[in-house]
Amino acid sequence: MSRLHRERHLIARIGWLRAAVLGANDGIVSTASLIVGVAAAAQGRQQVLVAGVAGLVAGAMSMAAGEYVSVSSQSDTETADLARERSELAASPAMERDELAGLYEARGVAPALARQVATQLMAKDALGAHARDELGISQMSQARPIQAAVTSAATFSLGAALPLLVAALAPGARLAPMVAGAAMLSLAMLGALGAKTGGAPVVKAVVRVAFWGAFAMGLTAGIGALFGVAS
């Protein structure tokens, strides 16, 4: 008896992975940059922590709202396309079958076989066949606004919590460099984890997130030092 071989493809993770990596990365970079900038302005620990907590709450809500609106727009477009395709299938099934067969021919399938495949797939699930092969909409990549919003807000909060914890525990004189160092280490680990989870090159991902994190913190530290006042 033959046994089916089930494959697990990494593309199935794309919906939550993108939102998770984006949220955690933003949480670390924005909160650490805010803390470093406020500390560079010669503010005390209390002011630094207040600014960090405010940044965490505002950032998490912003990420959730932004992801929900963005992914909802994608979902609305997919729904509209599916509704249009459903109407076309009801009105002109033969033309839709020819259209599907034409797609398979363009990919290299022989005309007679392409028509046979289109006929069989449409007999089983006409809308599913057109959604997948004509519109590029599949179950794995379909937009999920609530999942994206919750994932982004949660991972942003987790990312932001690290520089806040370091700021709360670090000695006053070393607060900024310790927060920056912890943020860089966290970003490198996040880049490596995201790359491994998504099957991408690790070194490239680590360099990318570390560069932009260092740039953001350096810029805000410079602005804080330029406009800072003694506490």
Q: Tens digits of per-residue pLDDT, 114-165?
A: 899 899 988 888 888 888 888 877 665 566 788 888 888 898 999 999 999 9
CB 49 within 8 A of CB 168: yes
pLDDT of 231: 41
What is the Cα–Cα distance from 75 to 186, expressed in whole angstroms?
33
| 144 within a domain of the structure (yes/no) | yes
Q: Which of 1-15, 69-83, 175-189, 208-222 has the lowest average pLDDT?
A: 1-15
Helical residues (DSSP H) of the chain, grouped into ranges: 14-40, 45-91, 93-106, 111-130, 145-169, 175-198, 202-227
Q: Residue 110 — pLDDT band, cuts 50, 70, 90?
A: very high
| 230 within a domain of the structure (yes/no) | no
* φ/ψ (deg, to 5) at 102: -65, -35
Give the structural domain span for 113: 11-225
| 78 within a domain of the structure (yes/no) | yes
pLDDT of 54: 92
> Tell me, what amino acid is at 148?
A
CA separation, residue 3 to residues 6, 8, 9, 74, 118 (Å): 9, 16, 19, 38, 27
Q: Which of 13-27, 97-111, 192-206 has the lowest average pLDDT?
A: 13-27
Average pLDDT taken over every residue of the chain: 83
| 4 within a domain of the structure (yes/no) | no
- Segment 28-50, tens digit of pLDDT: 999 999 999 898 887 788 889 99
Token look-up 């963005």 returns: 70
What is the Cα–Cα distance from 5 to 52, expressed in whole angstroms?
49
| 35 within a domain of the structure (yes/no) | yes
Q: Mean pLDDT throughout 172-177? A: 86
Q: What is the tally of structural domains in the chain?
A: 1
What is the Cα–Cα distance from 227 to 37, expressed in whole angstroms?
10
pTM here? 0.69
Chain-centroid distance, C-alpha 185: 20
| 2 within a domain of the structure (yes/no) | no
| 204 within a domain of the structure (yes/no) | yes
What is the Cα–Cα distance from 196 to 206, expressed in whole angstroms?
11
User: DSSP class of residue 172?
Assistant: G
Question: Cβ contacts of residue 194 below 8 Å, gap of 6+?
Answer: 17, 20, 21, 200, 205
Question: Cβ contacts of residue 223 below 8 Å, gap of 6+?
Answer: 37, 40
Chain-centroid distance, C-alpha 164: 23
What is the Cα–Cα distance from 181 to 203, expressed in whole angstroms?
19
| 112 within a domain of the structure (yes/no) | yes
pLDDT of 206: 87
Tokens of 117: 């495949």
